[in-house]
Amino acid sequence: MAETLYADIILPVAVMGRFTYSVPARFRDLVVPGASVLVKFGKKSTYTGVVAAIHTKRPSFETIRDIEDVVVSSPLINERQLSLWKWMSSYYLCGEGEVMKAALPSGLNYGSFRPRSETFIALSRPHDDESLNSILDRLARAPKQQELLATYLRMTGYTAGMEPVPVRKAHLLKESGSSPATADALVARGVFEVSSREVSRLELSQLDCEPLKILSKAQDETLHKIGTLFREKDVVLLHGITSSGKTEIYIHLIEEQLKKGKQVLYMLPEIALTTQIILRLKRHFGELTGIYHSRFSEPEKAEIWKHVAGMGYRLILGVRSSLFLPFSNLGLIIVDEEHDSSYKQHDPAPRYHARDSAIMLASMHGALTLLGSASPSVESYNNAIREKYGLAALSERYGLIKLPEIILANTREAYRKKLMVSHFTPELLEAVDDALGREEQVILFRNRRGFSPYIECSDCGWIPVCIQCSVNLTYHKSAGRMVCHYCGYSTGMPHKCGNCGSAGIVTKGYGTEKIEDEIKIIFPSARVARMDQDSTRGRNSFTRIIKAFEERRIDILIGTQMISKGLDFENLTVVGILNADNMLNFPDFRAHERSFQMMEQVSGRAGRRQKQGRVIIQTSDPANRIIRLVLRHDYAGLFRLQSEEREAFNYPPFCRMIRITLRHRDKSMLNDFAAVLGNDLRAIFGKRVLGPESPLIGQVQLWYLKTIILKIEKDKPPVRAKELLMEAIERLEHAKGASSLRISVDVDPY
């Protein structure tokens, strides 16, 4: 009798660990690691899970449930993916099931993916000229049928004796202006035949092939340096200033790996950045190139997944979720703009950092990782100068183009002298006017969307707030709504004060929508567009806006941080940063680093061709030391300053940081539970524990919040500290009355 098999299964639940089920004899050949199976969990629930391992060791508990059914027997995920899931679960303190939910397109997980099919039409058999003319003559009394056949012949370029070419029925009907009944009539006559074919859900575009460009001397030297470093280090940081030609170096490195038969993952922080680079890479690598991001539908994601698994796509250009694709032969991962905060997943779990996870994924494949940035994260640069990573620098712009001239515009002085026009200094307006006069383009950067951050009663000071979060509602003029940017709650614009009934409601502050309105008044003949989360909700909206700007159909583009990086516009010469102070004064230990990066990145969009660009930074404090560093493009100075401060106050990269967030509907109970956990952790970790404290936004979606920060020395083993932390959390979760308490853990919460 065959020995009983057991399967360790990952289920999509927020519970640590795997769950063991017995394998019925009828499924012995179907249940393999990576397969998708159906199991009972709890009293009534049924889940689709992924088989992680098969073994013969019987678990110690009495009752062992059987696997109910096999959903997909061929492995959905491979061994290295399972290893990545396990590592992420352990490092980021979440369940493997939570990783699974983030990783798998739903169509794959539940076996619901079906290939897409379409109806095609073709001639029923080959014809010579005489035969075709005879058919056309016979159709003289049926002109619609004759036109449909003529359109088919024209579309396919059909010539005598040629094998019939199938065309999409929908396309043929559209081109000929015909109805389905007309096509059916030709099928009935035996002229056409129909067939159903599997087609891709993905857009396929034919682009002219473009050979590799010859590198400049500086690029060639940097490429050679990277190759040398890769012989000693698995991870290399490329510190290349804006417009230095990093992408061309990436393309040469990708070419090397593809020639070896390897796969390459090229990661970008945001979808907006992919628009220009997609075209560039597809011109080089053609059909080997695939794209992966959150705006694809679940069936489209499933199709891309299958292409990667089958090595049809060997170069993937994607955002952070592309890490989870079923790579089988990775040779290189490129993490472009590696400093960008978009690589960090905050909610829900897994709260992973894609850059760090990419390095781990590459090591599992024995692959190389290249991190690229004009203003690297302090953590990555620290690893590079301490020789954990290799470091290559590219310190001149391609074609020896000058870095943009940076002009500081003092808003405090301009307001005092009554020189401000709305939110614009004379220096900025003059630069914009000059650029428009020379038919050049302008970008205005304001890292706040909406029309106004809040509205206020001018009589009593009343400000409308969200009914679910402790945050002011933002006014969106185009929608005529007040919106919460945390939970999505919205309400109409009030016509009178909700406190005193006064009609004196005024807007305060400004966002991208207000800038758009006001710049149109100041420059009425300019063509103005806005690129932010509100204006780019459609799947192709990024592409449309960027293409219009490239084709010079937009003179002034106003946007949030999505316009600050990666984009390359030939005719853009002026960049305005409207409020540098907001970024600098944000209460976060990375505020200065991120402000420098944001200003440096958005400045780098200006003057990337033959004309030197100008950047106008509006600030009430021109003497600010971070702004002075931006003025000199002095990243080394920023790194020294940040390193000194963080070492003095024990912040990353000089310690590890974990943030514990507690949520409860009852504020009093939350305070009590947070105090218990804080005291428990202090008894274990001492002064390494900070808090509990209320975060900047103390209530979200009716849940009150408290946070505790745990700092762990870099030379201490993090595994044991994490075990002790989770034991303390588990004790609290089992305490009386804690059933309504929610606790989340964020490792490296920055």
Binning pLDDT at 50, 70 and 90, where does residue 625 land? very high
State the pLDDT at residue 273: 60
State the pLDDT at residue 628: 96
> Between 169-176 and 180-188, two packed helices, what is the crossing angle to 10 degrees?
110
The CATH H-level superfamily of 655-747 is Ribosomal protein S10 (3.30.70.600)
d(CA 260, CA 319): 24
The CATH H-level superfamily of 217-400 is P-loop containing nucleotide triphosphate hydrolases (3.40.50.300)
Task: Provide the β-strand partners of residue 442.
Answer: 556, 574
State the pLDDT at residue 541: 81
d(CA 613, CA 440): 10
Mean per-residue pLDDT for 189-195? 93
Q: What is the DSSP string of 461-476?
A: ----B-SSSSSBPEEE
Q: Reduced to 3 states, what is the DSSP secondary structure of residue 506? A: strand
State the pLDDT at residue 207: 57
State the pLDDT at residue 608: 64
Residue 205 has pLDDT above 70, yes or no: no
Mean per-residue pLDDT for 709-726? 93
State the pLDDT at residue 114: 67
Alpha carbon of 656 to those of 132, 404, 660: distances in Å? Answer: 77, 37, 13
Say which CATH topology domain 405-451+510-644 has: Rossmann fold (3.40.50)
Torsional class of 456: left (φ above 0), alpha (ψ -120 to 50), beta (otherwise): beta
Mean per-residue pLDDT for 562-567? 73
Cα–chain-centroid distance for residue 575? 24
Q: What is the pLDDT of residues 331-369, one digit of tens each?
A: 999 999 999 999 999 989 999 999 999 999 999 999 999
d(CA 493, CA 513): 16
> Can you read off the two tokens belonging to residue 229?
């470093």
235-240: strand order across its sheet: 289-292, 315-318, 263-267, 330-336, 368-373, 235-240, 390-394
Mean per-residue pLDDT for 438-462? 92
State the pLDDT at residue 198: 75
d(CA 559, CA 411): 20
Mean per-residue pLDDT for 229-251? 94
Residue 112 has pLDDT above 60, yes or no: no
Binning pLDDT at 50, 70 and 90, where does residue 570 land? confident
Q: Do domains 5-109 and 405-451+510-644 have the same CATH topology?
A: no
> Between 280 and 149, where is the model more confident?
149
State the pLDDT at residue 209: 67
Phi, psi dihedral angles at 126 (to 5 degrees): -65, 150
**Radius of gyration, CA atoms only, the chain:** 30
> Between 661 and 243, where is the model more confident?
661
State the pLDDT at residue 294: 82
State the pLDDT at residue 403: 82
State the pLDDT at residue 728: 97
* pTM exceeding the 0.95 threshold for the entire prediction: no
Q: Cis link prior to 653 (omega < 30° from 0)?
A: yes
Q: What is the pLDDT of residues 595-609, one digit of tens each?
A: 999 999 888 878 766
- For 704, the enclosing helix (H) or strand (E) is strand 703-713
Binning pLDDT at 50, 70 and 90, where does residue 201 land? low
Amino acid letter, residue 667: K
Residue 501 has pLDDT above 80, yes or no: yes
> Can you read off the two tokens belonging to residue 109?
């997980």
State the pLDDT at residue 567: 73
Q: What is the mean pLDDT of the chain?
A: 91
Alpha carbon of 484 to those of 415, 477, 491: distances in Å? Answer: 30, 14, 9
Of the ranges 256-265, 379-388, 433-442, 528-537, which one carries the lowest mean pLDDT score?
528-537
State the pLDDT at residue 109: 63
Q: Closest by alpha carbon to 513, among 490, 528, 491, 530? A: 530
Q: Reduced to 3 states, what is the DSSP secondary structure of residue 605? A: coil
- Are residues 509 and 456 in contact, defined by beta-carbon separation less than 8 angstroms? no
What lies within 8 Å, CB to CB, of 416 at 6+ separation is: none
Give me the percent of the chain exceeding a pLDDT of 90: 72
Binning pLDDT at 50, 70 and 90, where does residue 274 land? low
Mean per-residue pLDDT for 485-513? 92
Residue 111 has pLDDT above 60, yes or no: no
- Are residues 222 and 240 in contact, defined by beta-carbon separation less than 8 angstroms? yes
Residue 200 has pLDDT above 90, yes or no: no
Alpha carbon of 414 to those of 418, 581, 594, 620, 626: distances in Å? Answer: 6, 15, 26, 9, 21
State the pLDDT at residue 322: 96
Write down the architecture of domain 5-109 according to CATH. 3-Layer(aba) Sandwich (3.40)
Residue 44 has pLDDT above 90, yes or no: no
Mean per-residue pLDDT for 638-655? 96
Residue 192 has pLDDT above 90, yes or no: yes
B/e letters for 708-745, b = 16+ CB within 10 Å, e = fewer, are bebbbeeeeeeeebbeebeebbeebeeeeebeebebbb
d(CA 619, CA 10): 52
The domains of the chain are located at 5-109, 125-190, 217-400, 405-451+510-644, 655-747
d(CA 555, CA 438): 11
Count of Cβ atoms closer than 10 Å to residue 204 Cβ: 7
Alpha carbon of 500 to those of 358, 458, 463, 467, 490: distances in Å? Answer: 55, 11, 11, 19, 22
Binning pLDDT at 50, 70 and 90, where does residue 514 land? very high
State the pLDDT at residue 272: 63
Cα–chain-centroid distance for residue 122? 42
Q: What is the dihedral of CA 112, 115, 118, 121, to 10 degrees?
A: -150
Amino acid letter, residue 224: H
Count of Cβ atoms closer than 10 Å to residue 604 Cβ: 27
State the pLDDT at residue 667: 96
